[in-house]
């Protein structure tokens, strides 16, 4: 199963009773495994989880550590990019040149990269004090 189809399939499992905006994400780890996530809303809005964060958490829980590629899909007129927080989460686990495919359920796609989504990302090197 390719990443976009995996993201499309997991999107159906999203818990979005408040917004009705279901999102699915699938990432390929460097170890060659696909990990998926979907958004999970909560009536207390800040307590929800984004699809991208769910896929990253699944990757980490499975023992993988680095993202090789990611796809995100939503029912929207145009491909939907990850929120700012998820862009930072992706930057934690993916090199800047990692491919990101953003898609709509109607078939529109946009290919970009982690670096293009978050130029000037805060990273581990910023913490180095030596």
So where are the chain's domains? 3-123
What is the pTM for the complete model shown? 0.94
pLDDT confidence bin for 118, thresholds 50/70/90: very high
Residue 123's pLDDT is: 84
> 42 labelled as ligand-binding?
yes
> 44 labelled as ligand-binding?
yes
Q: Is 18 exposed, middle or buried (0-12, 13-18, 19+ CB in 10 A)?
A: exposed
pLDDT in tens, 26-49: 999 999 999 999 999 999 988 999
> 38 labelled as ligand-binding?
no
Task: Assign domain 3-123 to its CATH architecture.
Answer: 3-Layer(aba) Sandwich (3.40)
Residue 1's pLDDT is: 63
What are the φ/ψ torsions at residue 3 (nearest 5 degrees)? -60, -45
pLDDT in tens, 55-112: 999 999 999 999 999 999 999 999 999 999 999 999 999 999 999 999 999 999 999 9
Over residues 5-28, the mean pLDDT reads 98
Known catalytic residue at 31: no
Handedness of CA 34, 75, 44, 13 (dihedral sign): negative
From 47, 52, 69, 92, the catalytic residue: 52
């Amino acid at each position: 199963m390719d990443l976009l189809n995996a993201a499309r399939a997991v999107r159906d499992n999203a818990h979005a009773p408040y917004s009705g905006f279901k999102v699915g994400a699938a990432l390929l780890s460097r170890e060659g495994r696909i990990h998926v996530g979907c958004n999970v809303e909560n009536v207390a809005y800040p307590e929800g989880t984004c699809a991208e964060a769910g896929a990253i958490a699944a990757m980490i829980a499975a023992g993988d550590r680095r993202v090789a590629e990611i796809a995100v899909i939503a029912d929207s007129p145009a491909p939907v990019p990850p929120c700012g927080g998820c862009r930072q989460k992706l930057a934690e686990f993916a090199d800047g040149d990692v491919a990101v495919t953003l898609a709509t359920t109607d078939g529109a796609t946009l290919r970009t990269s982690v670096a293009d989504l978050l130029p000037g990302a805060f990273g581990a090197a910023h913490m180095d004090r030596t």
